[in-house]
């Protein structure tokens, strides 16, 4: 079809604008970073000398190995947390399965670095757990020692990715798949090993590679635990201490992007052509079976232990925010509300900034997400797939890389009127957040659009509605559940983002919550107020998530019978 | 392979089986005796309990009350994997992460068959269903009919004592359905394997089955050979579920020493020897093709019951023409075989229907 065929003018203009936005704020900065990494710092010629320097420096080699080790071990530990929870709740008749699944996702609504300090106080060398262990058994386990601490904090934070994907995969296996194996004489662990797990494998790999990617790129947690010999902290430290022209920060950025792409590629390979997890006709979810009393006790013991562990950062943070002095003791000496009144009187700008930035970023994300989804799935514009592809590409770009790229690209560009470099204007933080969270919102919008049968649009057009009217009166209202889900995902994750913002915040008055928490947590005296801010962040995210769930639920019951029946035609 | 299977062919006995999903009773006191080697069909509308009954035999679903015997063995409390009843699932349930060969091999491995025997048995099973050449394919690369054959091979290869087929043809298109119907039947005869077949399609049931159990509402309505069920249904449900039936409610009376059936609006049919007591309410059942239609005033065959009526409308069905004729307060369906060119009666025409009383069944329910 001709690119400017009838009715395509509107979408073409929108697509052009979206493409321009992505080009300026994603492709150019990332391209700049990659270009600089291959550029001789003195002569400006293209060269591999920076990479050779990188691998000739023992600190960088060590950082590389450490990052890889931490990411891999975090996947292992996260799997240990996620597997029993996913398996027990999908496979057995288990009281409180919904509660377990919900509690299992809570770790995601707090940035990992926020919990890190609380984890030090609970699991550190002189933390509550080791004090108790020392008293009772005279042992001290180095949970938080060096890289162990990063692994523990990261795996507790990111294991929900595996839990969600694996549970979904397990739930979607056609019941007949398992029954036919039983019919042929298979049961128990053999059945799980030969049929159930292989069928759930794509879901597991998708979750696991996401965990790897996230941990590999994370900046806040190692910084807060004072572990500097990893890749992301090195990139940050080089740029902030030596300067924007130091090539090592760029080399590390390229390596981070390469590994992120590798993780995504792995996940893509795992899922491609293996869409087993669709329930076939006449099937249902995995058959659930009852548990014998002893089995039940065992299952609950495992589940409660895991939940206590994964919720410990929140518990620790809550105690810290209400505690006076907490040092060399199992619990703080006394409890107080001082930290909260302190942050409200001195640091309320962190909260308002966060609501403003995350709110704006999430709005941009759902508007662009809806537009991209529509252009890609409902028009025939040439190159429309690229829009989707590039927007999703942001997943593979770590926050540090966006931060460095923006500093390098937009520092020379002065915004008119306010006469400040674009790189140090607060709006750039909003754009960085929007670009980084766009993939989440986009996936939610695409999923929502695919639920809307094209017949419903055709019916509107048949009755005389133009494309624009059809979109605003039929498509967007029907997508509203998905759009809200996308907004909340963007909002929640953007409001606790640190790795890009930490590089782009130019003055304290422009700083969001995550940055404020990070600043507070630097000193022992600031931990209390920092924790109070952390709890406020958790509450903001928690409330937003809860409200959206209620909204989506209501939408779904409203449109359940008729629209669902025609969905996916 | 076939000889071994024949020797081990077992019947299935179901004694007073009841089953509930929570508060809902789905099967109510089922008794059945399925003979070794026969092809037995559970026929019924959706929700009748036929699939639940099949799943109970294979050990899936909630625990039933009553007993299920395969051969002489009580399997009621055995888990599915110890029953050795082969089930072909409606969705085929082929494991997508395994090739055709791995799918078929699976059961033999689970039953600890010596490795040396497995290869030959898998090849024989694949050959039996004509899929030797596709053994290394994945299920997703096969057509619906081929997937069906893999599912059959996978089940047959373990030499089950009974073969259970859960609506195996429902996912195939019409032409393939007829072909697979024949293939399954051929296979069943060759292996002399006791087979239970679940369907809601009366044509499938009639063409394939040795015997049929008609289920409705969790109760067995009637068991019999296909022809028997069609000609001599014992209740209204069976009569109308198998084919089209005219059903007239009325009473058996003695009129001038003769036993007759009479309906409130005046239709009267002799009922000697019908085995129904005088004074009893009952339903007269006859098929549309048991009525002959002719224009009023034409000569009609002697000894038949005559009913005068008016044609309300007609449907052309190809091989026959179906008239709806109003007789008193009743509307009766009448089939007339059609061959080209013959004039048909029109709506509004006054006609006479003649009915051979031997074609009438009197149903007590």
**Is B154 close to A184, i.e. CB distance below 8 A?**
yes
**Is B97 close to A183, i.e. CB distance below 8 A?**
no
- Give the pLDDT of residue A354: 86
Test mutation, B58, B63, B93, chain A, max A CBs within 10 A: B93
- CB nearest to A181's CB, from B96, B106, B140: B106
Residue-wise pLDDT for A474-483, tens only, equals 888 888 878 8
**Is A179 close to B158, i.e. CB distance below 8 A?**
no
- Give the pLDDT of residue B155: 92
Asked whether the beta carbons of B100 and B134 are under 8 A apart, the reply is: yes
- The more confidently predicted of residues B186 and A495 is B186
**A487: three-class secondary structure by DSSP:** helix
Mean pLDDT score, A162-180: 84
Give me A369's structure tokens.
């997400």
Short-list B299, B279, B301, CA closest to B357: B301
Residue-wise pLDDT for B13-26, tens only, equals 999 999 998 888 99
- Give the pLDDT of residue A283: 44
Give me B199's structure tokens.
């369907």
- The more confidently predicted of residues A276 and A210 is A210
Q: Is A299 on the interface with B (CB under 8 A)?
A: no
- CB nearest to A174's CB, from B60, B91, B155: B91
Q: Which residues of A touch B59 (CB under 8 A)?
A: 182
**Is B80 close to A179, i.e. CB distance below 8 A?**
yes
**Is B81 close to A184, i.e. CB distance below 8 A?**
yes
- CB nearest to B89's CB, from A180, A185, A194: A180
Rounded mean pLDDT of chain A? 80
Asked whether the beta carbons of B285 and B365 are under 8 A apart, the reply is: no
For residue B213, pLDDT over 90 is answered with yes
- The more confidently predicted of residues A238 and B211 is B211
Q: Which of A125-134, A156-165, A247-256, B155-164 has the lowest mean pLDDT?
A: A125-134
Q: Is B148 on the interface with A (CB under 8 A)?
A: no
Q: Is A201 on the interface with B (CB under 8 A)?
A: yes
**Is A274 close to B110, i.e. CB distance below 8 A?**
no
Cα A373 to Cα A1, A446, A568, distances in angstroms:
19, 5, 15
For residue A568, pLDDT over 60 is answered with no
Q: Is B168 on the interface with A (CB under 8 A)?
A: no
In this prediction, residue A503 has a pLDDT band, given cuts at 50, 70 and 90, of: confident
- Highest-pLDDT range among A164-178, A547-561, B40-54: B40-54
From CA B10, how far away is CA A562, in angstroms rounded? Answer: 48
Provide the CA B22 distance to its chain's centre, in angstroms: 28
Q: Which uninterrupted H or E stretch holds A420?
A: strand A420-421
- Give the pLDDT of residue A301: 84
Cα B243 to Cα B41, B287, B288, distances in angstroms:
17, 8, 10
Test mutation, B62, B86, B91, B112, chain A, max A CBs within 10 A: B91
From CA A169, how far away is CA A278, in angstroms rounded? Answer: 9
- Highest-pLDDT range among A102-116, A223-237, B272-286: A223-237
**Is B89 close to A179, i.e. CB distance below 8 A?**
yes
Residue of B nearest to A176 (CA): B93
Q: Is B60 on the interface with A (CB under 8 A)?
A: yes
Residue of A nearest to B155 (CA): A184
In this prediction, residue B163 has a pLDDT band, given cuts at 50, 70 and 90, of: very high
Residue-wise pLDDT for A65-93, tens only, equals 999 999 999 999 999 988 888 888 887 77
- The more confidently predicted of residues B278 and B131 is B131
Residue of A nearest to B163 (CA): A183
Residue-wise pLDDT for B291-308, tens only, equals 988 877 666 666 678 888
Mean pLDDT score, A483-502: 83
- Give the pLDDT of residue A37: 84
Residue-wise pLDDT for A366-411, tens only, equals 999 999 988 888 887 878 888 888 888 888 888 888 888 888 888 7
For residue A265, pLDDT over 90 is answered with no
Rounded mean pLDDT of chain B? 88
For residue B7, pLDDT over 70 is answered with no
Asked whether the beta carbons of A321 and A538 are under 8 A apart, the reply is: no
DSSP secondary-structure letter at A508? G
Give me A430's structure tokens.
């909003």
DSSP secondary-structure letter at A288? P
Query: What percent of chain B is modeled with pLDDT above 90?
Result: 51
Mean pLDDT score, A275-287: 49
Residue of B nearest to A283 (CA): B91
Asked whether the beta carbons of A128 and A122 are under 8 A apart, the reply is: yes
- Give the pLDDT of residue A5: 47
In this prediction, residue B3 has a pLDDT band, given cuts at 50, 70 and 90, of: very low
Q: Which of A261-265, A389-393, A544-548, B86-90 has the lowest mean pLDDT?
A: A544-548
- CB nearest to A185's CB, from B81, B90, B167: B81
From CA A198, how far away is CA A205, in angstroms rounded? Answer: 11
- Give the pLDDT of residue B112: 87
A559 to chain B, minimum CA–CA distance in Å? Answer: 27
What would the DSSP string read from start to end of A355-419? HHHHHHHHHHHHHHHHHHHHHHHH---TTHHHHHHHHHHGGGS-HHHHHHHHHHHHSS-EETTTT
Test mutation, B62, B79, B81, chain A, max A CBs within 10 A: B81
Short-list A164, A166, A248, A162, CA closest to A199: A166
A166 to chain B, minimum CA–CA distance in Å? Answer: 17
- Give the pLDDT of residue B35: 95
Short-list A477, A472, A461, CA closest to A6: A461
Residue of A nearest to B112 (CA): A185
Q: Is the reported ipTM for this assembly greater than 0.85?
A: no
- In SS3 terms, chain B reads as CHHHHHHHCCCEEEEEEEEEECCEEEEEEEEEEECCCCEEEEECCCCCCHHHHHHHHHCCCCCCEEEEEECCEECCCCCHHHCCEEEECCCCCCCCCCCHHHHHHHHHHHCCCCHHHHHHHHHHHHHHCCCHHHCCCCHHHCCHHHHHHHHHHHHHCCCCCEEEEECCCCCCCHHHHHHHHHHHHHHHHHHCCCEEEEECCHHHHHHHCCEEEEEECCEEEEEECHHHHHHCCCCHHHHHHCCCCEEEEEEEEEECCEEEEECCCCCEEECCCCCCCCCCEEEEEECHHHEEEEECCCCCCCCCEEEEEEEEEEEECCCEEEEEEEECCEEEEEEEECCCCCCCCCCCCEEEEEECHHHCEEECC
Asked whether the beta carbons of B80 and A179 are under 8 A apart, the reply is: yes
Centre a 10 Å sphere on the Cβ of residue A563 and count the other Cβ atoms it contains: 15
Residue-wise pLDDT for A183-200, tens only, equals 998 888 888 889 888 888
**Is B97 close to A283, i.e. CB distance below 8 A?**
no
From CA A211, how far away is CA A227, in angstroms rounded? Answer: 19
Centre a 10 Å sphere on the Cβ of residue B241 and count the other Cβ atoms it contains: 22
**Is A185 close to B87, i.e. CB distance below 8 A?**
no
Q: Is B281 on the interface with A (CB under 8 A)?
A: no
- Give the pLDDT of residue B5: 43
Burial bucket for residue B319 (CB in 10 Å: 0-12, 13-18, 19+): exposed
Q: Which uninterrupted H or E stretch holds A237?
A: helix A231-237
**Is A190 close to B111, i.e. CB distance below 8 A?**
no
From CA B35, how far away is CA B32, in angstroms rounded? Answer: 10
Backbone angles phi, psi at A48, to 5 degrees: -100, 5
From CA A395, how far away is CA A262, in angstroms rounded? Answer: 12
Residue of B nearest to A180 (CA): B93
- CB nearest to B93's CB, from A174, A201, A273: A174
In this prediction, residue A279 has a pLDDT band, given cuts at 50, 70 and 90, of: very low
**Is A190 close to B60, i.e. CB distance below 8 A?**
no
Provide the CA A517 distance to its chain's centre, in angstroms: 19
Asked whether the beta carbons of B15 and B170 are under 8 A apart, the reply is: no
**Is A282 close to B82, i.e. CB distance below 8 A?**
no
What are the b/e assignments for A487-517, b being 16+ CB within 10 Å? bbbbbbbbbbbbbbbbbbbbeeebbbbbbbb
Residue-wise pLDDT for B31-85, tens only, equals 999 999 999 999 999 989 999 999 999 988 888 999 999 999 999 998 888 888 9
Asked whether the beta carbons of A150 and A70 are under 8 A apart, the reply is: yes
Full strand arrangement of the beta sheet holding B281-286: B268-270, B258-262, B246-255, B281-286, B361-363
Residue of A nearest to B113 (CA): A185
Give me Rg for the CA atoms of chain B.
25
Provide the CA B319 distance to its chain's centre, in angstroms: 23
- The more confidently predicted of residues A525 and A308 is A308
From CA A89, how far away is CA A283, in angstroms rounded? Answer: 19
**Is A187 close to B79, i.e. CB distance below 8 A?**
yes
For residue B218, pLDDT over 80 is answered with yes
- Give the pLDDT of residue B64: 92
B63 to chain A, minimum CA–CA distance in Å? Answer: 12
Q: Which residues of A touch B91 (CB under 8 A)?
A: 174, 176, 280-283
From CA A264, how far away is CA A260, in angstroms rounded? Answer: 6
Test mutation, A174, A181, A185, chain B, max B CBs within 10 A: A185
- Give the pLDDT of residue A541: 79
Q: Is B20 on the interface with A (CB under 8 A)?
A: no
Tokens 């931990």 belong to: A527
Within 168-197 of A, beta carbons closer than 8 Å to B belong to 174, 176-177, 179-187, 190, 194-195
Give me A323's structure tokens.
């505690």
Phi-psi region of B75 (alpha: psi -120 to 50; beta: other; left: phi over 0): alpha
**Is B155 close to A183, i.e. CB distance below 8 A?**
yes
Asked whether the beta carbons of B283 and B251 are under 8 A apart, the reply is: no
Mean pLDDT score, A331-358: 80
From CA A179, how far away is CA A162, in angstroms rounded? Answer: 26
Short-list B203, B208, B123, CA closest to B165: B208
**Is A176 close to B86, i.e. CB distance below 8 A?**
no
Residue-wise pLDDT for A320-344, tens only, equals 888 777 766 677 776 777 778 777 7
Q: Is B80 on the interface with A (CB under 8 A)?
A: yes
For residue B188, pLDDT over 70 is answered with yes
- CB nearest to B93's CB, from A179, A273, A274: A179
- Give the pLDDT of residue A87: 83
**A421: three-class secondary structure by DSSP:** strand
Residue-wise pLDDT for B102-148, tens only, equals 999 998 988 888 999 999 999 999 998 989 999 999 888 898 889 99
Give me B349's structure tokens.
């025409």
For residue A3, pLDDT over 60 is answered with no
**Is A177 close to B95, i.e. CB distance below 8 A?**
yes
**Is A198 close to B167, i.e. CB distance below 8 A?**
no
């Amino acid at each position: 079809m001709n690119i400017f065929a009838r009715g395509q003018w509107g979408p073409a203009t929108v697509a052009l604008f979206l493409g321009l936005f992505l080009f300026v704020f994603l492709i150019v900065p990332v391209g700049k970073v990659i270009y600089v990494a291959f550029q001789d710092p003195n002569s400006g010629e293209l060269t591999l000398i920076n990479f050779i320097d990188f691998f000739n420096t023992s600190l960088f080699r060590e950082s590389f190995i450490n990052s890889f080790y931490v990411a891999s071990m975090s996947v292992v530990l996260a799997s240990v947390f996620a597997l029993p929870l996913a398996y027990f709740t999908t496979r057995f008749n288990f009281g409180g399965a919904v509660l377990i699944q919900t509690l299992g996702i809570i770790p995601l609504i707090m940035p990992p670095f926020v919990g890190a300090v609380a984890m030090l106080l609970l699991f550190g060398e002189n933390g509550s757990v080791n004090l108790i262990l020392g008293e009772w058994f005279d042992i001290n386990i180095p949970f938080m020692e060096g890289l162990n601490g990063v692994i523990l904090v990261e795996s507790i934070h990111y294991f929900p990715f595996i839990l969600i994907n694996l549970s979904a995969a397990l739930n979607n296996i056609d019941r007949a798949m398992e029954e036919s194996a039983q019919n042929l004489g298979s049961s128990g662990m053999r059945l799980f090993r030969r049929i159930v797990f292989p069928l759930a494998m794509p879901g597991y790999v998708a979750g696991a590679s996401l965990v790897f990617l996230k941990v590999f790129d994370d900046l806040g947690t190692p910084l807060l635990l004072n572990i500097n010999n990893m890749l992301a902290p090195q990139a940050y430290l080089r740029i902030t201490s030596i300067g924007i022209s130091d090539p090592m920060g760029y080399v590390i950025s390229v390596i981070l992007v390469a590994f992120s792409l590798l993780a995504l590629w792995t996940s893509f390979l795992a899922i491609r052509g293996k869409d087993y997890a669709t329930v076939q006709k006449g099937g249902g979810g995995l058959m659930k079976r009852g548990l014998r009393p002893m089995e039940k006790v065992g299952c609950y013991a495992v589940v409660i232990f895991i939940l206590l562990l994964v919720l410990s950062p929140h518990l620790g943070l809550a105690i810290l925010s209400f505690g006076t002095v907490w040092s060399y003791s199992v619990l703080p000496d006394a409890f107080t509300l001082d930290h909260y009144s302190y942050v409200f009187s001195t640091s309320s700008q962190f909260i308002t900034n966060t609501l403003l930035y995350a709110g704006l970023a999430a709005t941009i994300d759902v508007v662009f997400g809806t537009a991209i989804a529509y252009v890609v799935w409902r028009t025939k514009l040439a190159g429309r797939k690229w829009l989707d592809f590039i927007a999703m590409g942001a997943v593979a770009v770590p926050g540090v890389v966006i931060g460095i790229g923006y500093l390098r690209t937009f520092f020379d560009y002065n915004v008119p009127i306010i006469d400040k470099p674009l790189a140090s204007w607060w709006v750039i933080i909003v754009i960085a957040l929007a670009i980084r969270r766009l993939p989440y919102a986009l996936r939610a919008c695409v999923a929502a659009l695919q639920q809307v049968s094209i017949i419903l649009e055709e019916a509107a057009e048949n009755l005389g509605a133009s494309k624009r009217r059809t979109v605003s009166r039929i498509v967007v209202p029907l997508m509203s559940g998905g759009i809200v889900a996308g907004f909340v995902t963007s909002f929640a994750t953007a409001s606790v983002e640190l790795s890009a913002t930490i590089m782009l915040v130019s003055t304290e008055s422009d700083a969001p919550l995550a940055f404020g928490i990070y600043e507070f947590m630097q000193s022992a005296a600031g931990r209390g107020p920092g924790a109070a801010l952390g709890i406020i962040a958790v509450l903001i995210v928690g409330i937003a998530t809860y409200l959206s769930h209620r909204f989506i639920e209501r939408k779904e019951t409203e449109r359940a019978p008729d629209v669902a029946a025609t969905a996916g035609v | 392979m076939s000889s071994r299977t024949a020797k081990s062919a077992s019947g299935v006995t179901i004694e007073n089986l009841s089953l509930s999903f929570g508060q809902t009773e789905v099967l109510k006191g089922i008794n059945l005796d399925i003979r070794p080697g026969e092809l037995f069909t559970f026929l019924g509308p959706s929700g009748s309990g036929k699939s639940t009954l099949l799943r109970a035999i294979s050990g899936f679903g909630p625990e039933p009350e009553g007993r299920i015997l395969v051969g002489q063995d009580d399997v009621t409390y055995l888990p599915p994997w110890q029953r050795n009843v082969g089930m072909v699932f409606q969705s085929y349930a082929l494991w997508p992460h395994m090739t055709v060969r791995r799918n078929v091999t699976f059961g033999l491995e689970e039953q600890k068959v010596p490795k040396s025997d497995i290869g030959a048995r898998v090849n024989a099973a694949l050959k039996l269903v004509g899929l030797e050449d596709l053994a290394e394919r994945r299920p997703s690369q096969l057509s619906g009919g081929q997937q069906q054959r893999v599912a059959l091979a996978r089940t047959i290869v373990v030499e089950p004592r009974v073969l259970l087929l859960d609506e195996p043809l429902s996912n195939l298109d019409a032409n393939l359905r007829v072909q697979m119907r024949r293939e399954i039947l051929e296979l069943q005869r060759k292996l002399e394997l006791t087979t239970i077949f679940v369907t809601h399609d009366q044509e499938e049931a009639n063409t394939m089955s040795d015997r049929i159990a008609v289920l409705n509402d969790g109760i067995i309505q009637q068991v019999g050979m296909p022809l028997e069920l069609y000609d001599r249904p014992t209740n209204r449900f069976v009569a109308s579920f198998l084919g089209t039936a005219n059903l007239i409610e009325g009473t058996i009376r003695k009129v001038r020493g003769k036993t007759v059936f009479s309906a409130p609006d005046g239709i009267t049919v002799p009922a000697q020897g019908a085995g129904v007591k005088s004074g009893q309410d009952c339903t007269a059942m006859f098929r549309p093709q048991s009525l002959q239609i002719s224009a009023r005033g034409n000569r009609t065959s002697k000894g038949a019951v005559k009913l005068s009526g008016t044609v309300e409308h007609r449907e052309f069905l190809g091989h026959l023409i179906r008239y709806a004729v109003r007789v008193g307060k009743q509307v009766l369906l009448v089939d007339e075989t059609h061959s080209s060119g013959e004039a048909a009666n029109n709506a509004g025409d006054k006609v006479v229907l003649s009915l051979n009383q031997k074609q009438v069944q009197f149903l007590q329910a």
